[in-house]
Copies of this chain bind each other. A is one copy, B any other.
């Protein structure tokens, strides 16, 4: 898979999943991996950054299978940013598809 396509979009995916309910990092990696190839080394720094920026908060919960899980919860501000980002994404896809389609028709 083209690495470059993912730039900025993984952030959108993390927002989308957390907007639907709390998750821990490892779980996010698995959920996203169902549709897009992704590495753990990508998600953990991303979660930390977005938490520092105030879009997520985190809390620890003990697990019976491994070390405690760090759950992330989206904030109201994060939810707002997510909606803007999602709109931008759809607009962007439309723009790219127009460029491609025009090339094919003419």
Contact = CB atoms under 8 A, between A and B. Distances in A.
Given A7-B7, A93-B93, A99 B17 contact: yes
Tell me how many chains of this kind the complex includes: 2
A28 to B, nearest CB: 10
Interface stretch (A53-61, A65-73, A83-91): A83-91
A49 interface: no
Interface string A26-65: 0000011011100000000000000000000000000000
A92 B17 contact: no
A2 B88 contact: yes
Given A5-B92, A36-B96, 12 more contacts: A2-B85, A4-B7, A5-B7, A5-B9, A9-B96, A12-B100, A16-B100, A20-B104, A34-B98, A35-B95, A35-B98, A89-B100
